[in-house]
A and B are shown apart, each in its own frame.
Chain A
Amino acid sequence: MMSDEMMEDGGPVKKFLYMNRKAPYGTVYALESLEVVLIGAAFEQDVSLVFADDGLYQIAKGQDTAGIEMKNFSPTYRALEMYDVEQLYVEKESLEARGLTAEDFVVEVEVKTAEEIRDLMEEQDVVLSF
């Protein structure tokens, strides 16, 4: 579309929002989402991440997976900044239900209400939910 912002090589830039709702190790959703996010970011798209429900636990500080013999992928979220993925949002209602605060995360996040996230979702070209 003519109105789309263009990438340096002339391709269109679309707004992608990734909705992360699953805890990190009980299922494979969180890790799969992270991989897809990194791919989207590598293609220089306009990427936002929302962490809601148990998705908040993906970015919890202090994860030590040595005892369960799984890869701790939480440090990878800190690498998102290098891909210019800087729009990270946490849903306020999910945060409060879990007794967590914005200081409990490995990355800087902006806390948004469900209502604000609803508006954010409306602005997107693509919403991918994991």
Chain B
Amino acid sequence: MLLHTVNKSPFEKNALDSCLRMAKAGSSILLIEDGVYAATNNTSVSEKVKGVMGDITVYALEEDVKARGMQDKVMDGIKLVDYAGFVDLVAESDNVSAWL
């Protein structure tokens, strides 16, 4: 199982787009740093993220979500993990692909 991390804002860079296009069903995506804005409600990319959720588990790093004040806007179905959870995800994964 591959873990994809995305650390760029979906409104500024196409890292999320490329990740969504190339991530395989059964893999996981972890949104970190400015990537967590992709986890929020009613945005121009919300539907795109929701569209993969059946096949791919989407996580967001809670510390980065809170730092940005987005804690009340995270979409249903996105799992929040803390730093320890991040470590667990990496340990459970065969490989990590960082979309920069």
Binding site for B on A (CB under 8 A): 22-26, 53-54, 57, 60-68, 70, 72, 74, 97-99
**Which label, helix, strand, loop or mixed, suits the secondary structure of the A interface?**
loop
Q: What residues on A are CB-neighbors of B43 within 8 Å?
A: 97-99
Given known A54-B37, A98-B11, contact A63–B73 (CB-CB < 8 A): no
Cβ-closest 10 pairs across A and B: A99-B42, A67-B63, A26-B34, A62-B69, A60-B69, A63-B69, A97-B44, A65-B67, A99-B43, A64-B66
B57 contacts chain A at the CB level, 8 A cutoff:
no
Number of chain B interface residues as a range: 20 to 34
CB distance from B9 to the nearest CB of A (A): 5
B40 contacts chain A at the CB level, 8 A cutoff:
yes
Of the residues B8, B11, B42, B67, contact of A68 by C-beta under 8 Å:
B67
Bitwise, B44-86 to A at CB < 8 A (1) or not (0) is 1010000000000000001110111111110000000011000
